[in-house]
Structure 1
Amino acid sequence: MRALLAAALVVAATGTAPVERVRYTFDGPAPLADVSGHGHDLSPVSRYGGSFKLVARDGGKALAFPAPCHAEPCPRIALRAATTTELNPGRRPLRYGATVRLAADQTTKGENVMQKGYSARGSQYKLQVDGLAGRPSCVLVDDRRPEIHAAISSVGVADDRWHTLECRRAGSHLTILVDDVPRGRATLPADLSVSSRLPFSIGGKGSYPDNDQFQGALDDVWVDIG
């Protein structure tokens, strides 16, 4: 219902309906399958025993990532879809989000929920949870200018409860919503374009050290473009 309402608001504002490019519910016999029908299934990349497990949530399943580790080598894992231009929004309106659960002892200086591209190598869109307070943020980086644009939430989510997070790019504004309430905003260049040849990933950049490992539970990951 929330997704339908949000889509209706976008149509009312722009006259066009966004296209759901990818969605993962982590349910069913193939939990890493893209249920949008576009075929962007996930594959794990891991190191040092990094793995995920399925946990029950609202009659379905969610993913739980490795617990915090303070002595290297630490378990590392990320889930990646094959590289594709279909998930590059360019200058178009962009919405993406996920549902997360993170306890106070699961926070670090930076945990990646999802991302496409790297800020230091081309362009990027990203959803992350940062700092001891567990404040989520949305990040966009242009494919010609390396400046990082971040909409940072005024509230944290590290309270061991489920929270819906959403990033919305519309023209020159980037907004982060927590549980459907706008909690932070950033101003963007109106011509900012996101286009990356790197894969879409969930839960971390990769399996190497300093991969910004997500350490909580994650569900309902999605990206809408247009």
Structure 2
Amino acid sequence: MRARKFMGLVGVAAALAATSISTPAAYAATQTTLDLEFNESPGSTVAVDGSGFGHNGAIGSHIKMTGTSAVIDRHPPDATTYYGADHLIMVNEAPDGSLDPGAGNFTVEFRFRSTVKFGNVVQKGQATTAGGQVKFQQPGGYMSCMFKSPSGQAAVKSSIYTSDGAWHTIRCERTPSEVRLYVDGVFNKRIRKPTGTIDNRKPWTIGGKFDCDTSNPATGADSCDYFAGEMDWLHLIKG
């Protein structure tokens, strides 16, 4: 049995303690708008959303589904091949805005493991995307999360090394005034800074960037920042 449910409860408990939220009404106001468990069988091309919103993801041909997790292969950052959607799990933009942080509370949490000190793990939008961006990356082997809008940006980087090959649960909470990071159910860091309204028309991608072409940097990013490792589950929570 995987540790997702245990870590999720620990994370919720830590979050409630850290934010002094104790009333059932406050907790009930949250809503999971994306729930990808990555328990699809080998050869699957669709990651099923269990949230009830129907935000299924497209599984790229490079992704190996094991029945319990998604395994993403390695492509060095100096490679010149553009793999596009083949290297990614992609969840299309939702017209109702349920996958965007907007101006309110928004949480991204996932469980992963990796030994690569590089790569964009999860993101929605890129640096110049109109409407802002959400990005998780691991420069130097330390997971960081960033929320960026046209009016503000806040990023926080873990003090815990997370590219050690062990399973880690990452939870990043954005409120109108700050961003908080939890690692393995324990509060790690925060930055008190407003991030405005984040609402773009880009898909969520797991495994790197989609809008990039290293053979022609003029048409996109100079690197697709491909992530290599294993993903156990991913949740997006509003409220």
5+ residue gaps, structure 1, are none
Aligned AA for 1:86? Answer: S
Measured in 2, the distance between the counterparts of 1:68 and 1:107 equals: 13
Q: Name the residue aligned to 1:78.
A: 88
**In structure 2, what is the equivalent of residue 20 of structure 1?**
32
The Cα shift of 1:222 comes to 0.8
Partner of 1:54 in structure 2? 65
Structure 1 Cα separation of the partners of residues 81 and 199 of structure 2: 33
Q: Take 1:2 and 1:101, find their aligned partners in 2: how far apart are those partners?
A: 15
Secondary structure in 2 matching 1:51? coil
1:183 corresponding residue in structure 2? 188
**Counterpart residue number, 1:161:** 166
More strand by share: 1
Corresponding residue of 1:65 = 72
- The CA distance in 1 between the partners of 2:104 and 2:92, in whole Å, is 22
Q: Report the Cα offset of residue 165 of structure 1.
A: 0.6
What pairs with 1:89-108 in structure 2 (closer than 5 Å)? Answer: 89-103=101-115, 106-108=116-118
Matched, 1:174 2:184: no
Q: CA deviation at 1:207?
A: 6.7
Please tell me whether the aligned partners of residues 113 and 128 of structure 1 are also in contact (alpha carbons under 8 angstroms): yes
The letter for the 1-side match of 2:123 is Q
- Match for residue 201 of structure 1 among 199, 202, 205: 205
User: What's the CA shift for 1:75?
Assistant: 5.0
Deviation of 1:107 (Å): 2.0
Greater helix share, 1 or 2?
A: 2
Determine which of 138, 142, 145 is the counterpart of 1:138. 145
Question: Does the residue aligned with 1:196 lie in a helix, a strand or coil?
Answer: coil
Aligned-residue identity in percent: 27
CA drift at 1:83: 1.6
Query: RMSD in angstroms over aligned alpha carbons?
Result: 2.5
When the two structures are superposed, what TM-score results if normalisation uses the length of structure 1? 0.82
- Aligned partner of residue 87 in structure 1, secondary structure: coil
Query: Are the counterparts in 2 of residues 115 and 201 from structure 1 also a CA contact under 8 Å?
Result: yes
Provide the rounded CA distance (Å) in 1 between the counterparts of 2:184 and 2:156.
15
Is 1:43–2:58 an aligned residue pair? yes
Asked whether 1:128 is paired with 2:141, we answer: no
In the aligned structure 2, how far is the partner of 1:180 from the partner of 1:43? Answer: 29
Change in CA separation of 1:207 and 1:195 when aligned onto 2, cut-off 3 Å:
closer
Q: Tell me the distance in 2 between the aligned counterparts of 1:114 and 1:176.
A: 15
Tell me the matched-pair count.
Answer: 209
